[in-house]
Amino acid sequence: MAEENIVCTFCGSVCDDGQFDTEKFKSKKLCKLGSSKFSKKERIKAPMIDGKEVSYEEAIEKAAEILVNAKKPLLYGWASTVNEAIRLGVILTEKVRGVYDQCASVCHAPGTLAVIEEGLPGGSLGAVKNRADVVIFWGSNPMEAHPRHGMRYSISAKGLLIKDRKQRKVIVVDVRPTKTAKLADEFVQIKPGYDYPIISALRAIISGNADAVPDEVGGVSKEKLVELAETMKNAKYGVIFYGLGVTQSRGRDRNIENAVKLIQLLNRHTRWIIWPMRGHYNVVGAGEVPAWEAGYQYAIDFSRGYPRFSPAEFSAVEVLKRRDCDAALIIASDPVAHFPRTAVKHLKSISVIQIDPFPNMTTLVANVVIPSAVAGLEAEGTAYRMDGIPLRVKKIVETNYWSDEQILEKLLEKVEELKR
């Protein structure tokens, strides 16, 4: 059969209704991001050591040597691979007494810190589709980052109780008029870095202390805030989908903590949930899997033989800035393109092993490069959608590339052999 049903492995929406024509090598129904994911592009041709092509076995042996000989290796990435591979990655990190960190560290991890403090009043995307009559995108822009989210769940989605777009009020809170803002019923433009005081003002108004709120907060008039608070209180089922606009700007985890408190307060009046718009298709797994294995979601140090969690010390950016790792294994991620320059500087000076299907900026600094199969296209496995729903991603075309799981299994075996 030429056409196969596929599960998309690009963003956290993990659309499970795509189709793929194996003869034409082309996808259908997916967005621009998904279509590019399921298209032919340049690959890392073969495993390499210092730029020289070698066999998988040779590259893995070299990688094992680097990890075993390192005093404190950093094992980072994991958001664009499947749970089965992540599971092996956490075991590997423990064996080599390294630091496990994952992409959320520079994405939604501040939300994790907030959840540790406050809990997470959440719900599934299905519940949002069927029930939500008020949807607020706060510092998130799904039209560019999760293009089909609105259509499938949160803007124009047709649900059981909310039958069409007219029954759903969509509000965007952002510092600039994004593409999503243009589709919204209401756009609340705020000053950058003022999320926290605005959330505090909404909490004050909803708890009956509107008189404590000044005429303007973070570029928004009190009148507007009162109106927004009323809309929130009068919703039957409301949701805040927050994005990196909140986690990457001033306040970070404290912004989310305050937002969760706002949701707790709203739940005294009606039903509200809050949820992060997770980026990579399995960034949830990159946190959940170590959580079941070691108790923590990210920034985990195994150098003492047991797991310790401390983002101020063991997040990848902090470890690199402090020059506190002497080797790195980077998998399913590209920190050289996405970390601040001070962190990249240290990565350039240590031995780097890369496992990835595609050449990227990290390839340019890697000593050992191990190409892998693309999960969802050439390899199967389980991924968590952004709302924590596990979905099985498929293998639909044959390949000679090893899967991340195969590579890590072999690498773990080699490491154990060398440590014996």
> Which of 249/270 has CB closer to another protein?
249
Q: Collapse the DSSP code of 2 into the 3-class scheme (helix H, G, I; strand E, B; otherwise coil) and give the result.
A: coil
> Binder to another protein among 115, 135, 299, 411 (CB under 8 A)?
299
Place of tokens 């390839």: 363
Kind of pairing, strands 73-77 and 52-53?
unpaired
Q: How far apart are CA 167 and CA 134, in angstroms?
A: 9
Question: Percentage helix, strand, coil, to 5, in the chain?
Answer: 40, 20, 40
HSE (side-chain half, CA atoms, 13 Å) at 264: 12
> Binder to another protein among 73, 285, 287, 357 (CB under 8 A)?
357
Q: Which stretch binds another protein (CB under 8 A): 86-94, 265-273, 356-364, 391-399?
A: 356-364
Q: Which stretch binds another protein (CB under 8 A): 261-269, 310-318, 394-402, 408-416?
A: 310-318
Q: How far apart are CA 188 and CA 200, in angstroms?
A: 16
User: Is residue 42 within 8 Å of 48, Cβ to Cβ?
Assistant: no
Residues in contact with another protein, counted by CB under 8 A, come to a total of 68
> Binder to another protein among 152, 252, 278, 394 (CB under 8 A)?
252
Check residue 150 for interaction with another protein (CB under 8 A): no
Check residue 342 for interaction with another protein (CB under 8 A): yes
| Alpha helix segments (H runs only) across 98-239 | 109-118, 125-131, 142-145, 149, 179-183, 195-206, 222-233
Check residue 338 for interaction with another protein (CB under 8 A): yes
Q: Tell which positions 164-183 bind another protein, by CB under 8 A.
A: 175-179
Q: Which stretch binds another protein (CB under 8 A): 33-41, 61-69, 162-170, 406-414?
A: 33-41
User: Is residue 279 within 8 Å of 149, Cβ to Cβ?
Assistant: no
Q: Which residues bind another protein (CB under 8 A)?
A: 10-11, 32-33, 35-37, 41-42, 101, 105-107, 109-110, 113, 141, 143-145, 147, 175-179, 189, 192-193, 244-245, 247-250, 252-253, 279, 298-299, 311-312, 314-318, 321, 334, 336-345, 348, 357-361, 363-365
